Structure 1
Amino acid sequence: MMRKHTRLIGWLAALVVIVGFCQLGRWQLHRMHDKQALLDQQLPARAQTLTLAKAQAAPAQLRWVDDHGRFLPGTLLLDNQTREGRAGIKVYQPFRGDDGTVVLVDLGWLPMPGDRQLPTIAPREGEARVAGLLAPPPATGLALGPAFTATAQPGVWLANRMPPDEAAAALSLPPGSLHSPVLRLDPALPGGYARDLELLPNTLPPSRHLGYAVQWFGLALTVLIVALVLEWRRRRARQPPTLLP
């Protein structure tokens, strides 16, 4: 009886591990498809230029925006953003189009020194034309601690993530005025900092997710094979020895 219970527990444990590995593999595949779909939208987005209001009202996907308006006070510095292997921050400032639509504009990247002394930020002011890609914000790490921390510079906040409602509150904007997508400013426009239109700068490309998915499914298959081999050996050990004539 004890052996039967041990065998049952062993198979249950193996099944739990197999299911867990398969779920992790499925999650990696899901991330691969999501990111590939985002990359596939980039070229079609450049084919049609929209105003900021029309782009935000359209179904959620990449949109190329060209609009006129005014930069608003306040700056967000998104921490833990890498560029060419260097750690730094991304600079965001709110912009209001002439029709009243508000968006966070990605002004570019600045390096973060080893002592984490924040660089002095000179915010954009007055009327301006903006053009760029309306896209999801950069990937961030674990949501630990407050989203925004005040800095020594008035109106400048250090962010570890940018939930729209909390960003609006930090920037003294009306509730609900900000949406999740940000405007990736065209690198060809003057002003701002080092920037590009790379959609996955801080995260894994689709090919890496596929590789990890294969690894997880391979581990699940390995566990199944080991369990089957152990079961075969157990059954073989229980068979009575064959008597020679």
Structure 2
Amino acid sequence: MKLRIILLLAAMLVELLLLRLGFWQLARGEEKQQALQAAAAVLQEKQAQPLADALTQLSGFTWVRGHAVFREAPLLLLDNQRRGNQVGVSVFQAADADDGRTLLVDLGWLPVQGDRQLPKPATLSGSMLLEGLLLPPPSPGLAIGPAYTAQADGSLLLMRLDQEALSKALNRPLSGRILRVDPAQRIGFARDLAVQANTLPPEKHRAYALQWFGLAAAFAVLCIGVMMRKTHANR
């Protein structure tokens, strides 16, 4: 009897875990869908706000315009970024807005060849008038291993965009959002204004949610079948 209770509790825990994973995927899908809609509304209007003012906001999407002074700091190369069928790096550089806040400017994407020879782009310097989309940084995902490794040319190869680790590396607190420069502005490298280019789209999360719910239903049916079989066997 004691063993049966233990097995029943274990089965309930597994069932709850499967359901939790399903609801988590649904929530992530809804969160990303709302982000896409918010970004689309901003990009449709492109009503530029002053960069310094927008940096006081901690989240969301804002079309901005303002001067920024590029810092003499190492370039940041975010690894494993896809553009079409190619894999490469996204290039970031730190810059100071008019109010002194430091943010990362997304300068675009460069390919990495099969021999893993990283590109060596030149840093920008001086003050520039920038326009583009202020948006949350890419999700860091699971924090496994170091956030970055220093390269021979002084740049930092990022495994993930860890704001806290990069603030320490640059000796400056960084804004919670990054600026993706308007592709029409002729600086940097290949880029667009897609906000979820290297992550799962909402529909994928919904599909995974259905899979978890399907597993939960199948597991529940299996457990009920086993219990009924044992009940008939004990009669």
Distance apart, 1:64 and its partner CA:
0.8
1:139 paired to 2:135: no
Letter in 1 for 2:214: G
Would you say how many aligned residue pairs link Structure 1 and Structure 2? 232
1:50 paired to 2:46: no
Question: 1:40-79 maps to which residues of 2 (within 5 A)?
Answer: 40-46=37-43, 47=45, 48-58=47-57, 60-74=59-73, 75-79=75-79
Q: Aligned-pair RMSD on alpha carbons?
A: 1.8
User: How many percent of aligned residue pairs carry the same amino acid?
Assistant: 42
Of residues 28, 31, 36, the one that matches 1:34 is: 31
1:220 paired to 2:219: no
Structure 1's consecutive aligned runs of 4 or more residues displaced over 6 angstroms after TM superposition are none
Question: 1:47-196 maps to which residues of 2 (within 5 A)?
Answer: 47=45, 48-58=47-57, 60-74=59-73, 75-154=75-154, 156-173=155-172, 176=173, 178-196=174-192
Distance apart, 1:69 and its partner CA:
2.6
Distance apart, 1:96 and its partner CA:
1.6
Using the alignment, how far apart are the partners of 1:38 and 1:193 within structure 2? 25
Q: Structure 1, residues 57-93: CA drift from partner, whole Å, max 9, x if none?
A: 1352111111123222221111121111322111001
Q: Is the 8 A contact 2:59 2:136 kept in 1?
A: no
Of residues 178, 200, 205, the one that matches 1:204 is: 200
Using the alignment, how far apart are the partners of 2:164 and 2:4 within structure 1? 54
Using the alignment, how far apart are the partners of 1:191 and 1:61 within structure 2? 25
Using the alignment, how far apart are the partners of 1:164 and 1:193 within structure 2? 23
Where structure 2 has 5 or more consecutive residues not aligned to the other structure, the ranges are: none
Q: Is the 8 A contact 1:90 1:110 kept in 2?
A: yes
Query: What secondary structure is seen at the aligned counterpart in 2 of 1:207?
Result: helix
Q: Is the 8 A contact 1:88 1:110 kept in 2?
A: yes
Higher Rg of the two aligned structures: 1
Distance apart, 1:192 and its partner CA:
0.7
Distance apart, 1:114 and its partner CA:
1.8
Query: What secondary structure is seen at the aligned counterpart in 2 of 1:189?
Result: coil
Distance apart, 1:166 and its partner CA:
2.6
Q: Aligned in 2, Cα 1:192/1:129: closer, same or farther, shift over 3 Å?
A: same
Aligned to 1:242: none
Q: Aligned in 2, Cα 1:16/1:172: closer, same or farther, shift over 3 Å?
A: closer
Letter in 1 for 2:120: T
Using the alignment, how far apart are the partners of 1:149 and 1:125 within structure 2? 23
